[in-house]
């Protein structure tokens, strides 16, 4: 469904999640049991699912990307993350709540060993999976895509267009600044309107101040 760059980024995110989970599991000193293996396999599927959701939004946003000159690939990737950020956070929090209950209540107070093994790996892996999908997988895809000649050419066009627009904006501001000191027609009753410069004459109109 996706290109090889997205597959590579997803695999890197999976390796990150497993490494973080196994590292914390080793620091805690829990024994590796079948429950640990079940937890690791579960977080692999969860992390991959969360990454696919972001990549699907990115794939939709970058369709016919070379036909426009408004956004670069990295900027569209950033917008894709923003569009799925609330969903990722909500899903992660909802998934972590019952796992935290299993870990701290079931394992801590009730002393269930199997619950400790599976809930710890799930708790760490779910948090690491949400992190990797946002901060590792998508930025890695953007970096890989930006190296393509087509994306480099697109970035040059986008930057050139923005530079031209900025230059036009500055000239327009300069032109507006020339008229900022011009007086405006006086309001009824001889009062000068807000922002009008009193005491100057221009284009044969009265300054609005009686002598």
Task: Give me the pLDDT at residue 73, please.
Answer: 92
pLDDT in tens, 169-188: 754 344 444 444 434 443 33
pLDDT in tens, 63-100: 888 888 889 999 999 999 998 888 888 988 998 998 88
Q: Which CATH class is domain 4-165?
A: mainly alpha
Among candidate residues 89, 91, 94, 113, the one with its CA nearest the CA of residue 103: 113
d(CA 57, CA 59): 5
pTM check: above 0.75: no
d(CA 164, CA 162): 5
Lowest-confidence region among 34-38, 47-51, 131-135, 178-182: 178-182
């Amino acid at each position: 469904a996706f290109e090889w760059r997205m597959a590579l980024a997803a695999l890197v995110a999976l390796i990150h999640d497993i490494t973080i989970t196994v590292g914390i599991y080793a620091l805690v000193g829990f024994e590796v049991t079948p429950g640990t293996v079940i937890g690791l396999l579960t977080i692999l599927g969860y992390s991959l699912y969360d990454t696919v959701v972001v990549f699907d939004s990115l794939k939709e946003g970058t369709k016919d990307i070379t036909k426009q000159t408004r956004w670069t690939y990295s900027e569209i990737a950033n917008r894709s993350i923003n569009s799925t950020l609330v969903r990722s956070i909500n899903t992660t929090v909802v998934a972590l709540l019952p796992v935290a209950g299993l870990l701290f209540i079931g394992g801590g107070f009730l002393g269930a060993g199997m619950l400790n093994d599976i809930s710890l790996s799930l708790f760490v892996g779910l948090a690491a999976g949400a992190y990797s999908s946002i901060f590792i997988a998508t930025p890695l895809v953007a970096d890989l895509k930006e190296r393509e000649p087509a994306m480099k050419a697109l970035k040059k066009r986008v930057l050139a267009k923005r530079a031209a627009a900025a230059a036009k904006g500055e000239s327009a501001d300069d032109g507006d600044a020339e008229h900022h000191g011009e007086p405006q027609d006086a309001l009824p009753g001889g009062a000068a309107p807000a922002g009008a410069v009193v005491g100057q004459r221009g284009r044969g109109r009265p300054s609005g101040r009686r002598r």
